[in-house]
Amino acid sequence: MTIGWNFDNTYSKLPEAFISNTSPTPVKTPELIILNDSLVKKLGLNFLSMNKKELSELFSGNSLPKGSKTISQAYAGHQFGHFTMLGDGRAVLMGEHISRNNERFDIQFKGSGKTPFSRNGDGRAFLGAMLREYIISEAMHFLNIPTTRSLSVVQTGENVMRENILPGAILTRVASSHLRVGTFQYIAARQNVDELKTLVDYTLDRHYPNIKQSKNQAIAFLKVLMEKQIDLVVNWMRVGFIHGVMNTDNMTISGETIDYGPCAFMDTYDPQTVFSSIDQLGRYAYFNQPSITKWNLARFAESLIPLIDENKDKAIDIATEEINNFEKVYEIKWLNMMRDKLGLFGEDPKDQVLILDLLTWMHKNKADYTNTFCLLMNVKIQNNKIYTNEDFMVWKKRWEARLKLNNNTAEKYLKLMKSVNPLIIPRNHKVEEALTLASNGDLTLFNK
């Protein structure tokens, strides 16, 4: 029985400026904690011929499949607004696997040891953080939000030093690619136009072949990435997801959510909610996510300036004009998303006020973001008196009147609402409970 690996490693063939040939650092006693069976099937792989020990060796990087080509990728990033030359400091790309459906996937180890980009880091990760990424990335996938996914988590049998001594682990991450805005920043900072052209050509071939024929590829590329990133952040806002670390190196060119560090789903609705202890100023708070997306896209546009027009001033004007379209496009998409959450068909001039009045009420009354929409879909939630207060009842009557427009029926609007509003999210206290138990060797709640 064959496992089905089908490697075609294109990124490793790019000039040496882009990559470093790196191998995972072997670990002592790897133990497979979880393997994602549904993702295994999607990749067209079959591990039935391998026992747990062999799988543990594979997903720790101790043994590598035939055809793999391990590298670390170079990239830069604005981290909390400050530019830094970075790279995969604790990640190693196993290779690019082609599935039976002819889809290309990066298979990457995270926490697999030092690389030339590690600087002062140990290149390792700890179990709780890797299991968190597994839970949240899978939740995002099943909430229909573009995301990298988690194939496996292996405990290494070694400890890592953070504030405390923690059990080490390696996550195997699957992505349509690991190209980031930061990848373009890194190459742009080298001021070699040929390298920049090489990167753009590679990226368009891999992700956006339909714009290869555009009169101005760089502008077409900027437009398509802006569209992708607006769609992504609108999806985050839809479910109350807060990324936590929206640095430019954590913004993918494919439009997938990447890097589940200090992230979480919002419980009580508060637009200023932050989920990163180092984000003291709220740069990456829930309500700031659209403006940070625009800011990151502006950094991407700067990277493309030499390819937009030979005249630098003209190139800057063209790029600025594109970036300035962001708010208009975002507002339309956000408004339509919120209409869907409320089961509204068509457009009404009063929709924006209706939506903002609900959000204002939720904030003032500390209402739960997910549960409020569940209640509006007639889903039973824990009894909460705030939903019987006069302000909410008055708002609800306005909403019910709006629902009656455009030949709407209860069957139609409930179907629309159920297609976009989650009933279940990874609740922070439940995730923390599961991770605490898992770190002490009890995976029952995590598996549940």
Position 292: which residue type? I
Are residues 39 and 47 in contact, defined by beta-carbon separation less than 8 angstroms? no
What amino acid is encoded at 323 in this protein? I
346 CB burial (10 A radius; 0-12, 13-18, 19+): exposed
Give the ranges where 213-350 is alpha helix by DSSP (H).
Answer: 217-239, 289-308, 312-323, 326-341
Q: How many CA atoms lie within 13 A of 7 on its CB side?
A: 16
96-106 burial, b for 16+ CB within 10 Å, e for fewer? Answer: bbeeeeeeebb
Tokens of 343: 């089961």
What single-letter DSSP state applies at residue 312? H
CA 360 to chain centre: 27
Burial class (CB in 10 A: 0-12, 13-18, 19+), 303: buried
- Dig out the tokens for 353 from the structure: 């006020």
Q: Would you call 249 a catalytic residue per the annotation? A: yes
**Pick the catalytic residue: 106, 249, 267, 368?**
249
Element (H, E) at 162: none
Pair of tokens at residue 381: 């939630």
The answer to whether the beta carbons of residues 136 and 426 sit under 8 Å apart is: yes
Q: CA Rg, the chain, in Å? A: 23
H/E stretch holding 160 reads: strand 149-161
Cβ–Cβ under 8 Å, residues 292 and 283: yes
Catalytic residue numbers read: 249
